[in-house]
Structure 1
Amino acid sequence: MSQSRNAALEQASKWFLRLKDAAPDHADRGRFEAWLMESEANRQAYQRIAETWGDFDSAARITHISQAMSARKLDDDIRKRQRANTLTKLGTVVAIGLASLFGFQQWQNWQAQPLETIAQTSAPGHMVSRYLPDGSKLSLDAHSDTKVVYYRDKRYVRLLHGQAVFEVVKDTDRPFIVESDHARITVKGTRFVVNMINHKTVVAVDHGKVMVETLHAGETTSVLLSNGEVAEVKDQVKPVKLNKSAKDCFAFLQGKLIFDGASLSEVTETLSRYRQPPIVNHSKSGTEISAVVDVRTLNTFIKSLPAVAPVKLQESQVETAVVDR
């Protein structure tokens, strides 16, 4: 039995029991009629409940006629049997509702079973691309980490660290969902990039439509992105569209890192995806960096940072530290 049919039967039994003896002008009757008109499934479900009730009524009338002919206390007999008949019908309606609920729970458990799980990571300095079970393509930036789980009703990716581009094959029955520490991104079929960087998540869309929601917010906060649009998401804050080129966000696939007014922390975190030891910002400078960096000349750019910001570099075996001068 389908999910929608189970839900309709459950709701139909509730409406029937609520309104079976109610006055024609009962306050809930308008809401009931609106529910009834929502779909053919609702009407069929209510008809099934009503027919079940009606079948018991017919059988009861035949029994009453037969027994009344030989019973002296017809009124008492009718009252007793009406009570028993009502309890029987109530039990049947409740049983249908419980069976529907049990079936729905079983269906939910079946839907929640993973069909396939993939853990995909990339090492510092090395990007990775692969096709997923449905033909969608995952392209991981260097030093990134994802977990992919495919279910019967959805395709789910958890971005644990770094950045990834998704080229999603359209499937209207199974939305493609990506979650980071700050955001949930839902699509049907599109190409987009998700970058978890400097305590925020940046989402850019090449083509298609993407729904971006803030995780952990007190209320649902979302924004719809389409071709060429970019949004930034932070914890507990509504997603904000940025006046930024989406193409710049995909440039890393061609070995280019484009910074447009980026903080030193964002720059150093991005650069650390491509080198060991990592470069770490300890400076309190508010300098914003705008530059196009070729990953093949990364060290040259790092050495030039003291020329564009009031900082100096301190080298050690575990990190290259950016500190205030």
Structure 2
Amino acid sequence: MKWMTLLRWLALILLATLTAGLALSWAPDRSVDSLKERWAPAPSQFIDLQGMQVHLRDEGPRDDPEPIVLIHGTSASLHTWDGWAKALQGQRRVIRMDLPGFGLTGPAPDGDYRMTRYADFIAALLDQLGVRRAVLAGNSLGGGVAWRTAVQHPERVSRLVLVDASGYPLQSTSVPLGFRLAQIEWLKPVMGKLLPRRMIESSVRNVYANPDKVTPELVDRYYELTLRAGNRESLTQRMKLRETDAQAAGLIPTIGQPTLILWGTEDRLIPEPSGQRFHKEIAGSQYVVLDGLGHVPQEEDPQRSVAEVLKFLVTQR
């Protein structure tokens, strides 16, 4: 009898623990309007493009003949470039946006997240802003979008800056938990309503060489923008296309624009051999290794990483 009573108590404790865990992880979609106050203050703006309200920041002198366009990576947003934008906008026009499927821009109406589609999106954005040619800089997925745009629309791209860019088949030594879960089809109904903040924190810390640099506000940003209505479904759709993207690696040797390649030595998601391969296959490219930095050097150490960009822009102008 005592054993039965003990088992009932254990069952109740387990049920209470599971209920509390679900309650803490419960995270339904949030509307873009509920997120704007914190994540889209001035100079943020929203422009109508391809059926979306694209979240954009356009700063610096308007007479710059070749603005710098900064393109973020998977599950990131234009905020990842805050440090670079601050360093560049005194002398250069700096344009950055939330890509379709991410940030406050949210899902593409047609659900198309192929790289060819992203390249066309960048060209359309340049048209909308009246920019004939630009320097494209991208991190991770954004790096893949940048070089694909240079191949697809070469007349629009004067130079490239690839920061731990995607392009080759992944040989990751560690993948953020959030990315791994997004690839599990049967988890979609669950992940659409549950999102433990600790999982986002773990994922962000995973791409930093020094996890101590991951602040609560940084985790808040990734967490809250992931909750933007439609973004979780978009991430699932985007992750399905990664292997297809890698099949386009044969286009990389056709890149003709002057290119700077930056790579963190501690990148475990896209390890440094990919950077070396970009350097080998893009004729005349410059290759700079950033010791002690991970997959997002522009966030982890914006001053050190943008210093290389400033030198590249001066020498190439």
* Range of TM-score over shorter length: under 0.3
Task: Determine which structure has more spread, i.e. the larger CA radius of gyration.
Answer: 1
**Greater RCO (Cα-Cα under 8 Å, separation 6 or more):** 2
User: Normalising to structure 2: TM-score of the pair?
Assistant: 0.27
Write 1 or 2 for the structure with the bigger share of strand. Answer: 1
Write 1 or 2 for the structure with the bigger share of helix. Answer: 2
